[in-house]
């Protein structure tokens, strides 16, 4: 692993000041550095520095032990190799990092700054190694799942809860979006899986059946359209609606469909979810369009009517979509299988 650091101006040595320990003859001879040395840049250019983790560990070990010999031994390097690494770091930065005194070596101002950053970087590198080891085993991960309103409210809560219970090392990043935005995100690689309506274009994606999810119109029992016959969406636009929040995926979709007819939905009030919408309709606030599943899970004895819509987009099914199911990480494959089989 190579760490890129911008050079620090702190602790630079004016001409004639102390040389660093690594630049003196007391640090041992100067044979070639073990392995291929990192490329260095001309001092003072401001270009990125190339330090690997061995360099940083060595430098901290030197500071912790107080001399290069002990630091090299703790780093499992020869004295010559350790000295060469320190010289390369100083040449790369264009400033000294260590000063030699009677009791050993001490860091310059630039060296103190490097030590502070090096400890943070090495700690992060250790955490990264631990996390990636678990990812490689397919036992830890975060699945990015996008879904439309109906899937979010009617189908996914119990499914995702059981999946998380059975997979304690997995997390799910769940977001509700309109189906058209979900397919775009999948194509761009911004999500692993999506649950979308079959009304959107999924030709360049892979899909699996998820649920039949028709949309229906609900009305107060005494409403003029509550005679049981199927109605067209455009016919309903002459009446007042109870809608979902304006940012809701289904609300956005329905208002787009209204604009396609050249009309707008007359929304008197907006609710946070289907339960609130249905209760408002039952008490005469207006009409609403909801997934049939939202009606079926409510108890009988309702004071509203449910009628079908003529439009083909209302006779929809939900699909589980991905760019390529086989190319998914193991943890995302596990979720896709769970959603497909339940």
End-to-end CA distance of the chain: 43
* Upper half-sphere CA count for residue 146 (Cβ side, 13 Å): 22
Q: What is the pLDDT of residues 266-321, one digit of tens each?
A: 999 999 999 999 999 999 999 999 999 999 888 765 789 999 999 999 999 999 99
Q: What is the pLDDT of residues 90-142, one digit of tens each?
A: 998 999 999 988 888 999 999 999 999 999 898 888 777 766 776 666 556 88
Q: What are phi and psi of 160, to 5 degrees?
A: -70, -35
What are 210's two structure tokens? 């998820």
Domains and CATH numbers, the chain: 2-135 (1.10.10.10), 141-212+317-341 (3.40.190.10), 215-313 (3.40.190.10)
Closest CA to 108 of 145, 59, 53, 147: 59
The predicted pLDDT at position 238 comes to 96
The predicted pLDDT at position 116 comes to 92
Residues of the chain with pLDDT > 90: what percent? Answer: 68
Cα-to-chain-centroid distance, residue 172 = 10
- On the question of pLDDT at 168 being above 80, the answer is yes
Q: What is the pLDDT of residues 173-220, one digit of tens each?
A: 999 999 999 999 999 998 999 999 998 999 999 999 999 999 999 999
Q: Are 56 and 1 in contact (CB under 8 A)?
A: no
- Residue 219, strand partner residues: 305
Q: Is 21 exposed, middle or buried (0-12, 13-18, 19+ CB in 10 A)?
A: buried
Which residue would you say has higher pLDDT here, 130 or 339? 339
Residues 6 or more apart whose CB falls under 8 angstroms from that of 30 comprise 80, 83, 84, 87
């Amino acid at each position: 692993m190579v760490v890129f650091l911008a050079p620090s101006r702190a602790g630079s040595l004016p001409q004639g000041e102390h040389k660093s320990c690594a630049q003196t003859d007391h640090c041992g001879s100067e044979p070639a550095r073990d392995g291929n040395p990192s490329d260095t840049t001309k001092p003072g250019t401001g270009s990125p520095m190339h330090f690997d983790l061995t360099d940083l560990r060595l430098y901290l070990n030197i500071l912790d032990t107080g001399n290069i010999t002990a630091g090299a031994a703790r780093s499992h390097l020869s004295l010559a190799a350790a000295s060469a690494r320190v010289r390369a770091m100083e040449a790369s930065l264009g400033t000294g990092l260590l000063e030699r005194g009677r009791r050993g070596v001490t860091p310059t101002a630039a060296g103190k700054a490097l030590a502070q950053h090096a400890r943070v970087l090495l700690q992060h590198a250790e955490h990264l190694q631990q996390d990636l080891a678990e990812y490689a085993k397919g036992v830890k991960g975060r699945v990015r799942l996008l879904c439309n309103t109906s899937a979010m409210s009617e189908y996914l809560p119990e499914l995702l809860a059981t999946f998380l219970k059975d997979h304690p090392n997995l997390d799910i990043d769940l977001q509700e979006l309109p189906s058209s935005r979900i397919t775009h995100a999948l194509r761009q690689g911004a999500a692993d899986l999506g649950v979308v309506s079959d009304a959107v274009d999924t030709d360049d994606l892979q899909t699996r059946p998820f649920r039949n999810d028709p949309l229906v119109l609900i009305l107060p029992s005494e409403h003029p359209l509550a005679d049981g016959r199927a109605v067209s969406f455009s016919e309903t636009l002459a009446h007042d609606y109870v809608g979902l929040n304006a940012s809701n995926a289904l609300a956005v979709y329905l208002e787009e469909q209204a604009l396609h007819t050249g009309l707008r939905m007359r929304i008197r009030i907006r609710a946070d979810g289907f339960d609130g919408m249905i209760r408002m309709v039952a008490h005469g606030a207006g009409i609403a369009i909801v997934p049939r599943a939202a009606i079926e899970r409510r108890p009988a004895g309702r004071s509203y009517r449910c009628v079908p819509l003529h439009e083909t987009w209302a006779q929809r099914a939900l699909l589980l979509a991905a760019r390529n199911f086989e190319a998914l990480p193991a943890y995302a494959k596990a979720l896709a299988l769970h959603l497909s089989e339940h």
